[in-house]
Amino acid sequence: MQNKKFYITTPIYYANAKPHIGHAYTTVAADVLARFHRLQGEEVFFLAGLDEHGLKIQRIAEKAGKNPQGFVNEISQEFKRLWDKLNIKYDGFIRTTAPEHKKAVQKALQRLYDRRSIYKGMYEGLYCVGCEQFKTESDLVDGKCPDHNAAPEHLKEECYFLKMSELQNSLIKKIKKDEFQITPDKYKKEILSFLEKHKLRDISISRKNISWGIPLPLDSTHTIYVWVDAFLNYLTGIGWKGEPNKIPEQWPPDIQLMGKDILRVHATIWPVILLHLGISLPKKLFTHGFILSGGKKMSKTLGNTIAPEEMIEKFGVDGTRYLLMSAGTFGEDVDLTMERAAGKYEADLANGLGNLVARTLAMTEKYCEGKIPKINKDPEKHPLRTDKNIHNWKKVWQDLDENLANLRLNEAIGSIWKFIAEADNYIERNKPWNLAKLGKTEELNWALYGLLDGIHQVAWQIYPFIPETSLKIAEALDIKGLLKKSPNYKDSWINIKPGTKIKKGAVLFPRLGSKV
């Protein structure tokens, strides 16, 4: 591989129901990061997918009177449709019912058995079908799983176990040294404190009474535990065939994104499987919080859920992407209500970015014959580009690099929008319409050139977040680099060309009017 590689994953969501806004949140974030790294010319692989086995899905399909394969086939279409709609550009979509995945997982399990990492035993304990996880009494609140508000089932059956505790110390070391980085830092502390207080128990990696799963190669009366099957997607999704010494070149993942609900398993079972297989660990796990609504967890009973389609319908695709990514600090819980989202849409998109672009293009049409004006000064001297007293667009690039490297998505957006506000102030201060009236052509051209130069940069800067809008601005200004299939942001430093005819398009973000 010539260029630096960047491999990013999202969790593979359960194919038990249609996608909801929480799934969209993680997946849009991954898409933003993938697009940002592509802009830098990196060789990006963004893996999405679905977790299609296990008791939860088996039961739901039964209840719907469908066979599980037919059921997950339908759900997978729903996910793919939504991702297409949301302009998610994944490079791979792995389904755990794919024959290649199944074969590779079986090979891996056989190897774990051959290496004596797996042994046969008897399991007795609690199991939450909602989580598809074994639970201890200390995980429960009033006898129920707090995430699913349901009492776990009691299980006693023969199964195969994966050895966990013998690798606990080497796992702790790797986490401490950031060889296996867990971010944000509070989650690293949480996991380390968990690992230092509890001896990891060997986990059951097979189930005897669940038919909807991959048969265990060494004992076909068992199927493989759904989480073990699911974790291996991160390898099979890039073409791994189950052979530890033939690892695809994208490996290891640079970032694995997930919500805080599934960090513990990703920080324990997942690396232990890899250590047993002799495969290097992912570089970084990044955990984000939950989307809440009005301070409460979204739930059907409370009636505060927001469907992705509902947001797209009201705010458009880019509106939805923007509102999700700017809802709050990535890593913390964020709060989203349709009412607040509507206010933000009007302020930041219709009045903010949309209005700045519309005004700038309209003034160019009116005062400069619809062409990027000629200037006789060095564009580098334009205040919107370099004035230290202004949140200029060069500063935005620095912020973007730094914020996106640290997954501060909301802050990255904040910096771009601070520039948009600066550009608006610049218009108010310089009043191009007065300059036109007074016949001050040079000053007028300088002002408009700076504004066009500014929105040219903004088109690049917003690309990872709201790519459709970015391309519309690129079209208006005829920005060649962005209009190419795989843009590289180094092109962004090329100055806009005086004399270029602008093409004013449709309104970027129509006002919501009576819609909300």
Per CB under 6 A, residues contacting ligand MSP are 11-14, 22-23, 25-26, 51, 230-231, 258-259, 261-262, 290-291, 298
3-state secondary structure labels for all residues of 421-439: HHHHHHHHHHCHHHHHHCC
Active-site pick, 135, 297, 418, 504: 297
Write down the catalytic residue from 5, 20, 107, 144: 20
Rg of the chain in Å (alpha carbons): 26
Q: Would you call 20 a catalytic residue per the annotation?
A: yes
- Nearer of residues 230 and 255 to ligand MSP, judged by Cβ: 230
Residue type, 462: I
Nearest distance in Å: CB 212, ligand MSP: 14
**Residue 159 appears among annotated catalytic residues:** no
- One DSSP character per residue, 311-346 reads HHHHHHHHHHHHHHHTSS-BTB-EE--HHHHHHHII
* Residue 258 or 281 having the CB closest to ligand MSP: 258
Shortest reach from residue 131's CB to ligand MSP, in Å: 8
Decide whether 42 or 51 has the Cβ nearer to ligand MSP: 51
Active site residue 131: yes
Quote the CA–CA distance of 407 and 33 in Å, as a whole number.
8
The DSSP bridge partners found for residue 125 are 155
Q: How far is the CB of 334 from ligand MSP (least distance, A)?
A: 8
Smallest gap, in angstroms, from Cβ of residue 48 to ligand MSP?
A: 11
Which residue out of 154, 197, 300, 388 is catalytically annotated?
Answer: 300
Looking up tokens 């232990």, which residue turns up?
272
Cα–Cα distance, 85 to 316 (Å, whole number): 10
Q: Give the tokens for residue 323.
A: 């509102």
The CA distances from residue 172 to 152, 262, 358, 379, in Å, are: 29, 18, 54, 53
**How far apart (Å, rounded) are the C-alpha atoms in residues 5 and 290?**
29
Q: 10 Å Cβ neighbour count for 340? A: 14
Nearest residue to ligand MSP by CB is 22
Closest separation between CB of residue 108 and ligand MSP, Å? 14
- The Cα diameter of the chain in Å comes to 89
Q: How is residue 137 written in tokens?
A: 């009494």
Q: Is 300 a catalytic residue?
A: yes
* For ligand MSP, the closer CB: 147 or 478: 147
Nearer to ligand MSP, 338 or 427 (CB): 338
Q: Is 128 a catalytic residue?
A: yes
- CB neighbours of residue 287 within 10 Å: 25
Buried-state track 187-215, b at ≥16 Cβ within 10 A, e below 16? bbebbbeebeeeebebbbbbbbebebbbb
Q: How far apart are CA 416 and CA 325, in angstroms?
A: 13
Closest distance of CB 223 from ligand MSP, Å: 16
The residue (of 321 and 382) whose beta carbon lies closer to ligand MSP is 321
Q: Which of 53, 145, 266, 344 is catalytic?
A: 145
Please say if 368 is a catalytic residue: no
Whichever of 230 and 277 has its CB closer to ligand MSP, that residue is 230
Active site residue 145: yes
* Active-site pick, 131, 266, 314, 368: 131
d(CA 46, CA 253): 10
Quote the least distance from Cβ 487 to ligand MSP, whole Å. 28
Active-site residue list: 20, 23, 128, 131, 145, 148, 297, 300
